Amino acid sequence: MIKSGLLSEPKHRKLLFSAGLSWLFDAMDVGMVSFIVAVLAVEWQLESQQIGLLTAINSVGMAVGAAVAGSLADRYGRRSILLATLLLFSAASGLSALAAGFAVLCTLRFVAGFGLGGELPVASTLVSESVPPNDRGRAVVLLESFWAGGWIVSALISYFVIPHFGWRMAFAIGALPAVYAIYLRTSIEDSPSYARLRSDKLSFGDRLASLWSKKYRLSTFTLWILWFTVVFSYYGMFLWLPSVMMLKGFSLVKSFQYVLIITLAQLPGYFTAAFLIEKVGRKFVLVSYLLLTAASAVWFGRSETEGMLIAAGICLSFFNLGAWGGMYAYTPELYSTAIRSTGVGFAAAFGRIGGVIGPYLVGLLVGLNIPIATIFLVFFIAIVIGALVVLFFGQETKGIDPDRSAIEDGLTEIKNE
């Protein structure tokens, strides 16, 4: 067990677990979509472009939700927006079970995506602000590790439920987080740093302008490129994973089984990143894990045998999700409390544009009979670009308190302009 102030403080453990469960439910919903589209492709006779559109529309909602909820959380508090977005995505996920056609399902997936996209940056901001600086990075990476738990749950549901009870039952299970929101309402509170800010809040215009002020400009540029390349590659690869397995000649059930095995590798990816991020810093974790993700993507795209596919997929899961953990830990640390949730939300929103393009692009390329190896080479290039931008332009934030560093001066600059 990792020994730190985070684990010794009961209130921090409670917050991490409470926010983590909501994160798990998010991942469960996103993960199930990747399995469900493989079934709908057969049941509804969807073309590859339609599959790409269905997976992409979820990211459109996440992009809008991240920007809107991130901004609202700086105005109305992290806790209230976290609860609202959790309820929204739960309701939309449950209603997806009743969808009678492709257009209705796309609409509901947009709404679910709005709730999902809004919840994630708000939850990471809340946890980042609520723990001591020496545990902050580790805490957020551990929060992100609940994402792996959600994907594992989605893989289990898809493997055991969908073949026997159908995809509608899987969506119905996605409504359960609404019940959890009742508990969450009484178990968490806003961070101390946000509570101190209640009487000195910036307007939305000032917050938005501050993201591109002199003090924050380079950080915002770095984060937006990082988020775009990571989300583009992740959703392009992982939402198509079951379908790619089928394209490589494996049955539906066998594909689900392999994806479950690959998904299990996400957990050690997170845990190693959580250990390293406070030892060697954010930039090292991000750059090294991203470059190893890129290498794994090329390996997976070229693999044909069962053994090679599973081995490459495990490495892809391990390093890609470790990088995600590092990214979520890194992002809130580059902004002060007054604009933090807005900064995280807009970085995530820009990244979700990549999440729209990635899966839809795969659908187009598959429809044009482009080899899987070539498609995964596109993701290799994108991930390398993200790693290089962090390497050359990223600021190391290990041990830095944004509210007491030079970054804070950006707010003064905005007010004086």
Q: Residue 152 is part of a domain; what is its CATH number?
A: 1.20.1250.20
Structure tokens at 95: 């209603």
- Look at residue 222 and tell me if it is in a domain: yes
Structural domain that includes position 298: 7-186+202-416
Q: What are phi and psi of 92, to 5 degrees?
A: -65, -35
The closest alpha carbon to 109, from 36, 179, 22, 23, belongs to 36
Number of domains in the chain: 1
- Look at residue 223 and tell me if it is in a domain: yes
- Look at residue 192 and tell me if it is in a domain: no
- Look at residue 69 and tell me if it is in a domain: yes
Helix (H, G, I), strand (E, B) or coil at 203: coil
Say what the pTM is: 0.82
Q: How far is 241 from 231, CA to CA, in rounded Å?
A: 15
- Look at residue 245 and tell me if it is in a domain: yes
pLDDT of 19-62, one tens digit each?
888 888 888 888 788 778 878 888 898 887 787 788 778 888 98
The pLDDT, as a whole number, for residue 299 is 95
- 151: exposed, middle or buried (Cβ count in 10 Å: 0-12, 13-18, 19+): buried
| CB proximity list for 376: less than 8 A, separation 6 or greater | 237, 297, 298, 300, 301, 302
Q: How far is 149 from 165, CA to CA, in rounded Å?
A: 22
- Look at residue 40 and tell me if it is in a domain: yes
351-353-355 Cα angle (round to 5) = 80
- Look at residue 194 and tell me if it is in a domain: no
Percent pLDDT > 90 in the chain is 32
- Look at residue 48 and tell me if it is in a domain: yes
**With bands split at pLDDT 50, 70 and 90, how would you rate the model's confidence at 197?**
low
The single-letter code of the amino acid at 47 is E
| Radius of gyration of the CA atoms of the chain, in A | 20
Mean pLDDT of 146-166: 84
**With bands split at pLDDT 50, 70 and 90, how would you rate the model's confidence at 5?**
very low
